[in-house]
Amino acid sequence: MTPYRPHDPFDIEALARSLQGLDLRRDAAERARAGSDYHWYSPVLAGALRGREPHLVVRPRSVAEVERVAAACARHRVPLTVRGGGTGNYGQCVPLYGGVSLDITGLDAVLALEPGRARVQAGILIHTLNQAAAATGQQLAMWPSTERIATLGGFIAGGHSGIGSLRHGILADAGNVTRLVVVTLEDPPRRVVLEGADIQRAHHAYGSNGILVEVEVALVPRVEWRHSIALFPRYDTLLQFGLAAGAASVRGELDLFQMSAVERRITPYYAGLRGRLEDEDAMFAQVHPASLAAYEALVRAHGGRAVVAGTEAELLAQGLPSCTECAYNHTTLEALKSDRGVTYLQVAYPAPFSPELVAAQMARFGDEVFMHHEFSRVHADSGGELVAFALPLVQYFDEPQLRALIASFEADGCAIYDPHTWVLEDGGMKQVDEAQLAFKRQADPLGLMNPGKLRAWDERVLGIPGGGL
């Protein structure tokens, strides 16, 4: 059979007949829900992807049912898009050409919890796994700020890093994800086990090269992190502090799980903080109890004030937000709740990271850009290097303005991980991942998985321009 091409016709009734006995939904509300994720953060994506939804939503209850769906989609040449929590920001879950939305959240079993590792079904909520791990005195090494609503499989297929990355690096660093079991889109499907470096073949591929059904990830001893809010009179001073504290954490002198720098024009968007933080810039952090005194002393040494410190439960009891939900893309979410005029960018800085460059950008962009930086570690498996990257809020006018802003950041030597595209390579990667493409040829030879998201497949295999609709 030749590979599926965008807009090829398919017989959804024949597919539905062959899936009798499974949990199938096709009412308008279910289809609309399955056609949405958090791509509406981007006005560009909201416009381009409007109205794209699946014909059929299928909720498998077992791996055998997943295999039945995979075989039927291959047999009937129907596109299939996997859906976890649906919290992706780039339209990853939006089926561009309809077909099946495979809701994987019914596969949520904990298969094994052992010292240092968890083996689970891919549709488990990250929060549920963290709770199960806590009962064994352990926790995950990292999670997205959507920990309460995102699935582990979705984080691996669509995410990058998050809370905990300051201590344990990014998801792709060796040892964080240790084993994947993937169901291929063939008739009959195969179960492929990926371990070691082979994990990268299916990691962060937007569910375009196999259905993750089982995942093994690292666990670390549980810490009752102290959520700390520290205030600084100037944003560049706050960033200087972040560099000093981050370097101390890489040297092992401070044990830090998260550090998120948020400037004063953003914090009023956070429910619970409005009116409570004075006119200063804030560092939201999660700090090991044994490091808290030294961390707060370093805050003071940089001219800041530590104003809040407590466990997550203590902060919530005071009506304050958890520091987890003041970080990463929660900043954009909190802003969008009251201000639909904003959107965001993702900015990597040239090394060494320069707070002076950020100050110059703030002066140049004025009210168009509000700054927010995350401190993280990459290559944590080999010692680790501290990085700081920005998720600034942008007051949005139109797409040309956004493109001009991106060009201005790039002229400073910054790299933009464009959150205003649904094409995998055009976002953060900027290049073809040959290993992922080779794996797609094996795991999805008909090109049915999440079609339209992989530029390399469209251009090299189908011979059509990537990024079309």
Binding to ligand FAD by residue 92, rule CB under 6 A?
yes
CB 362 within 8 A of CB 424: no
CB 378 to ligand FAD: min, Å? 14
Binding to ligand FAD by residue 345, rule CB under 6 A?
no
Length of the chain: 469
Binding to ligand FAD by residue 343, rule CB under 6 A?
no
Which residues have CB under 8 Å from 356's CB, separation 6+? 236
Binding to ligand FAD by residue 321, rule CB under 6 A?
no
**Residues contacting ligand FAD: total by CB under 6 A:** 38
Q: What distance in Å separates the CA atoms of residue 318 and residue 309, rounded to the nearest whole number?
A: 11
CB 33 within 8 A of CB 94: no
Binding to ligand FAD by residue 66, rule CB under 6 A?
no
Identify the residue whose tokens are 């992706």. 88
Binding to ligand FAD by residue 151, rule CB under 6 A?
yes
CB 398 to ligand FAD: min, Å? 23
CB 233 to ligand FAD: min, Å? 28
| Backbone φ, ψ for residue 113 (5° rounding) | -125, 115
Q: Which two tokens stand for residue 45?
A: 């994506």
Please identify, using beta-carbon distances, which residue of 238 and 327 lies nearer to ligand FAD.
327
Please identify, using beta-carbon distances, which residue of 77 and 204 lies nearer to ligand FAD.
204
Per DSSP, helices labelled H in 50-110 are: 63-76
- Site stretch for ligand FAD (CB under 6 A), options 55-63, 155-163, 254-262, 459-467: 155-163
- Site stretch for ligand FAD (CB under 6 A), options 85-93, 248-256, 283-291, 432-440: 85-93
Binding to ligand FAD by residue 70, rule CB under 6 A?
no
- Site stretch for ligand FAD (CB under 6 A), options 157-165, 240-248, 343-351, 429-437: 157-165
Q: Which two tokens stand for residue 158?
A: 């669509």
What residues between 366 and 425 interact with ligand FAD by CB under 6 A?
none
Please identify, using beta-carbon distances, which residue of 149 and 432 lies nearer to ligand FAD.
149
DSSP-assigned beta bridge partners for residue 101: 57, 81
Torsion 262-265-267-273 (CA) sign: positive
Cα→Cα distances 400→44, 368, 421, Å = 11, 14, 14
Sheet containing 342-344: which strands, arranged edge to edge? 342-344, 393-395, 369-370
Which of helix, strand or coil describes residue 161?
Answer: coil
Instruction: Please pick, from the candidates 83, 226, 288, 373, the single residue that binds ligand FAD as defined by CB under 6 A.
Output: 83
Please identify, using beta-carbon distances, which residue of 53 and 280 lies nearer to ligand FAD.
53
CB 456 within 8 A of CB 206: no
- Site stretch for ligand FAD (CB under 6 A), options 142-150, 233-241, 260-268, 380-388: 142-150
Identify the residue whose tokens are 């299928």. 58
Binding site for ligand FAD (CB under 6 A): 37-38, 81-89, 92-93, 104, 122, 144-146, 150-151, 153-155, 157-162, 206-207, 211-212, 328-330, 333, 450
